[in-house]
Every structure is written in C-alpha cells, then in structure tokens.
C-alpha cells in the first residue's frame, strides 16, 4: 500500500494539473481539461520564462466542425528537441492499435503554419524539433510520454505518434520495465479510481548525450498520477521513476519505504515536478486544504 505525507501529495498535485496539434500561449485558455483541479482550482504547469525555447502544445490530429479536438497537452523543449512532459486525462483502457506513422508540429518551425500535425515524410532536418531521421540507426526508440496504452480513442492513439510526444528511450527499457509501469499505472487507476477523475503527467529528465548530435537523450523517465472525487479532493496519488538504461527497475516513489540508495532519484524527480508546476497553482492554500490529514 502506498503511503503519502502531505508534502509528497502536495508535490504530486503540483505535477498533475491531466490529435491536430496547436502551439498555444496558455494551456488554461486552450486545453485545461488535461490538468487536475484539486479544490476546484486548476493547476496548470509553470513553464520556463524562455517562451522561444519552451512551447505549449495542445495536441490534436483533426478538426470537428471547424473546432480542434484536443487529446492531450505537451510542454516541448525546442533546444533539446524533446518534450518536457505530456499531460492527459485517463479515461480507461480502450485497446487501441498502434500506428506506424509519425507526425511533426509545423508551427514549431513556422509559427504561421497551419495548426495541425503533419506526417514527417520528407527526411529534412528541422531546427526546433526532432524528426524520424534523427532516430535512424541511433539504437534508441521513439519513446512515448503519453502512451498508446492510455489513449482514450483511436484518434487519440494516432495523435500520440507525434515526435513532440517522444524522446529517445532505451529499447529494452521501453519494451520492458517502462511498459510494465504504464500498465501498472492503468491498473491502479482502473481498480482504485474507477469512479473518479484520473490525471497523468509523464516527463523526462534531460541527460548529457544526444542522438544525431541534435536530440537530447533523457537520463530518466518519470510518471505521476492523481485521482480526484466529485468534490475535487484527492483519493489516490503516486509516481514512478526509471533510469533510461537497459531494462532497469522502475522505482515507485514512496516516502515511508524509500531506500536510501533511491533517495537521490526520488528527490531529483520531486524537484523536477515541483519546479515545473509550483507557480502554476492559483491557490496553494486550496491544495493544502484538499490534502490535509
């Protein structure tokens, strides 16, 4: 059983505020539905002040009667050419099949471009994002942050195949322990939060190396989840952290039983989560009241 102190729950709440794609100025105005609202206060992620480098994307693959249908949200780092995180609302396991077509976000390189994903099929390198050729012969998978397994529909599943939702991931880790972790998170949410609103945010910690001398390889992948009842109070929350290496065990972040050898990883992940999301919360007092014990 996972045990949480108020401090840990606060950090997780700050992290979890959650397919055509559109670069937007404000998640709250365009796609707030992917972020948790504990205490009826939406906690949208804080982004770094460099708006030229860090881009907010409401991900979508199609329009419906002239309106973009958003599937999840991504904060993208155009310098490292990987996402910082993707956030979404979990609505159950739909069994969507995988798509082999990968997309890019035209607006990252041409701000006046149409706000829809485009297939990456011309082989050209782009200045502000990764492309398929970056991954060829690299030895790394295009590792999903918002995964196919958690997609709420076929359109959403297809929309996860954008390179703005992927980062270089060790192949055995992606196909092994991390895939198991994605399934474990889904099982927790299905069993413990079936009647609740369920949000997930998955992100990376940038490493020191690159593929194709362009795309930063993450040192860690992390994911966190939260469930809110009808009164927007927390019922369940948790997080996992895994090193981006050959099928390394993924650590479940748990203050009460955390081994000392995992303490650095835990603190690193919590620091990253806290730093990304802290100032995005409109009212910390509301959150503190929500998680008070």
pLDDT in tens, 43-63: 655 556 788 898 988 887 766
pLDDT of res. 79: 95
pLDDT of res. 58: 87
Answer whether residue 150 shows pLDDT above 90.
no
Residue 162 lies in a domain: yes
Residue 243 lies in a domain: yes
pLDDT of res. 67: 66
Which value, to the nearest 10 degrees, does the dihedral of the CA atoms of residues 41, 45, 50, 54 take? -140
For residue 241, the number of C-alpha atoms closer than 13 Å in the C-beta half-sphere is: 19
Answer whether residue 10 shows pLDDT above 70.
no
Give phi and psi for 206, each to the nearest 5: -60, 140
Residue 147 lies in a domain: yes
Answer whether residue 231 shows pLDDT above 50.
yes
pLDDT of res. 3: 45
Question: Span 174-199, mean pLDDT?
Answer: 91
Straight-line distance from the first to the last Cα atom of the chain, in angstroms, rounded to the nearest whole number:
17
For strand 72-77 and strand 54-60, is the pairing parallel, antiparallel, or unpaired? Answer: antiparallel
pLDDT of res. 289: 35
Structural domain boundaries enclosing 216:
6-291
Q: Output the CA–CA distances (angstroms, integers) from residue 128 to 80, 117, 184, 282, in the order listed.
A: 9, 15, 34, 31
Residue 1 lies in a domain: no
For 235, the token pair is 């019922």
Asked if 1 and 182 touch (Cβ cutoff 8 Å), the reply is no
State the Cα–Cα distance between residues 146 and 153, nearest whole angstrom.
Answer: 13
CATH number for 197: 3.40.570.10
Question: How much is the mean pLDDT over the chain?
Answer: 75
Q: Output the CA–CA distances (angstroms, integers) from residue 116 to 24, 60, 154, 203, 287, in the order listed.
A: 12, 7, 17, 23, 35
Q: Output the CA–CA distances (angstroms, integers) from residue 291 to 205, 226, 228, 237, in the order listed.
A: 27, 12, 11, 11
Answer whether residue 265 shows pLDDT above 80.
no
- Assign 277 a pLDDT band (cuts: 50, 70, 90): very low
**Number of structural domains in the chain:** 1
State the Cα–Cα distance between residues 218 and 145, nearest whole angstrom.
Answer: 12
- DSSP structure string for 77-90: ETTTTEEEEEEEEE
Answer whether residue 263 shows pLDDT above 60.
no
pLDDT of res. 232: 80
Kindly report, residue by residue over 61-97, the tens digit of the pLDDT. Answer: 766 656 677 888 899 999 999 998 898 888 877 666 6
Residue 116 lies in a domain: yes
pLDDT of res. 137: 94
pLDDT of res. 95: 63
Residue 48 lies in a domain: yes
Question: Minimal CA–CA distance to 72: which of 179, 8, 164?
Answer: 164
Helix (H) or strand (E) holding 227: strand 215-228
pTM score: 0.79
Give phi and psi for 138, each to the nearest 5: -90, -20
State the Cα–Cα distance between residues 272 and 284, nearest whole angstrom.
Answer: 18
Residue 221 lies in a domain: yes
Q: pLDDT over 70 for what percent of the chain?
A: 66
Residue 41 lies in a domain: yes
Give phi and psi for 74, each to the nearest 5: -135, 135
- Assign 133 a pLDDT band (cuts: 50, 70, 90): very high
Instruction: Point out the least confidently predicted range of 6-15, 71-80, 237-246, 252-261.
Output: 6-15
Answer whether residue 242 shows pLDDT above 60.
yes
């Amino acid at each position: 059983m996972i045990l949480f102190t108020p401090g840990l729950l606060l950090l997780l709440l700050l992290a979890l505020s959650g397919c055509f794609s559109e670069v937007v100025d404000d998640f709250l105005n365009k796609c707030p539905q992917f972020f948790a609202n504990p205490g009826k206060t939406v906690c949208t992620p804080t982004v770094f002040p460099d708006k030229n480098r860090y881009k907010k994307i409401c991900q979508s693959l199609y329009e419906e009667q002239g309106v973009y249908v958003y599937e999840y949200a991504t904060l993208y780092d155009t310098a490292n050419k990987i996402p910082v995180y993707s956030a979404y609302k979990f609505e159950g396991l739909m069994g969507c099949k995988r798509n082999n077509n990968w997309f890019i976000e035209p607006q990252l390189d041409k701000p006046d471009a149409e706000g829809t994903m485009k297939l990456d099929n011309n082989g050209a390198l782009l200045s502000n994002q990764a492309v398929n050729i970056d991954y060829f012969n690299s030895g790394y998978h295009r590792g999903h942050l918002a995964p196919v397994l958690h997609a709420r529909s076929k359109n959403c599943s297809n929309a996860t195949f954008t390179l703005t939702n992927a980062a270089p991931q060790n192949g055995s880790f992606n196909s092994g322990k991390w895939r198991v972790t994605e399934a474990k998170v889904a099982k927790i949410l299905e069993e413990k939060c079936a009647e609740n609103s369920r949000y997930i945010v998955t992100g990376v910690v940038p490493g020191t190396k690159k593929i194709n001398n362009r795309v930063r390889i993450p040192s860690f992948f992390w994911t966190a989840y939260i469930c809110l009842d009808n009164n927007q109070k927390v019922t369940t929350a948790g997080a996992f952290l895994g090193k981006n290496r050959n099928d390394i065990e993924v650590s479940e972040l748990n203050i009460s039983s955390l081994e000392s050898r995992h303490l650095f990883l835990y603190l690193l992940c919590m620091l990253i989560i806290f730093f990304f999301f802290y100032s995005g919360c409109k009212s910390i007092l509301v959150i503190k009241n929500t998680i008070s014990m």
